[in-house]
Amino acid sequence: MLDVIRETAAFIRAEVGEMPEIGIILGTGLGDLVNHMEIRKELDYKVIPNFPVSTVEGHSGKLIFGELGGKYVMAMQGRFHYYEGYDMKQVTFPVRVMKELGVETLFVSNAAGGMNKEFKVGDVMIITDHINLFPENPLRGKNYNELGPRFPAMTEAYSDEMIRKADEIGEKNNLRLMHGVYVGTPGPTFETPAEYEYFRIIGGDAVGMSTVPEVIVANHAGMKVFGVSVITDLGGKDIKEVPSHEEVQKAAVTAQPVMTTLIKELLASL
Ligand code: HPA
């Protein structure tokens, strides 16, 4: 595993040169941030050795290097979901490579279904914590001490300092920013009304099918994490509307101006 990570990192370093200390994983429909980037270099996942190739509609699959909010960043356009059939090591492989390349701060974004009754479709939720309901932990198996500890702490999985900064930015720019706990599920089914209710009862504010594996590995690797969810649909015991993939994409577009301002300003503040 270590050799594979190093091989991939060496390829990227040779292709791109200087490496950033900030990585961004762009979730469903949030690819618009790329339009605000001053791009230096792009690498198709297809050309990167050992990289899985993304398959879902709306996820194109590129590693993009460039300037955003005045900071040099590496952005993943398209991520690998467990529901696509990748195993947990594949889903989190890019995070391992980022760390090997020198990334110390990871931004993650996703689309999620809202369970908190105060949420509206199109809201942006700062992830304050998560609940892992994936059937497997990405750290299961042999631990490589070079990568991180056997039993990593998850008490501040999402950086308190970055959340505080994000709140300041929200206040200054008059952004509607919600806070909440993200429940990570394997998918690909959306939840039954009873499941949304259950996730609410156990402490969740939003539910989605990504992010948790990557955030676990980022914490294992000692990275600082900032996460945001775009609320693309609402779920609960009285809600019968079924979110379509198109509605999810549309709500993500609605949230774009807030997302863009937040991420750009947050990067600028680092
Ligand atoms: N459930 C799970 N994943 C999701 C949802 C949802 O309601 N919306 C967007 N991703």
Which two tokens mark 68?
Answer: 């955003």
Atom of ligand 1 nearest to the CA of 208: 3
Does the C-beta of 114 come closer than 6 Å to ligand 1? no
d(CA 118, ligand 1 centre) in Å: 17
Which residues of the chain fall short of a pLDDT of 50?
58
Scan for tokens 């990557």, then name that residue. 214
Please compute, for residue 123, the number of CA atoms within 13 A of its CA located in the half-sphere on the CB side.
23
Rounded to the nearest whole angstrom, what is the distance from the C-alpha of residue 186 to the centroid of ligand 1?
A: 11
pTM: predicted TM-score of the whole model, two decimal places: 0.94
Asked if residues 183 and 80 have their Cβ atoms less than 8 Å apart, the reply is no
From the list 178, 159, 4, 182, the residue with the least C-alpha distance to 94 is 4
235 lines ligand 1 (CB under 6 A): yes
Atom 5 of ligand 1 has which residue's CA nearest to it? 113
Burial code (b: 16+ CB inside 10 Å, e: under 16) for 151-173 equals: ebeeeebbbeebbebbeebbeee
* Residue 127 near ligand 1, beta carbon < 6 Å: no
Q: What is the pLDDT of residues 188-233, one digit of tens each?
A: 999 999 999 999 999 999 999 999 999 999 999 999 999 999 999 9
Tens-place pLDDT, residues 48-79: 999 987 665 545 589 999 999 999 999 999 88
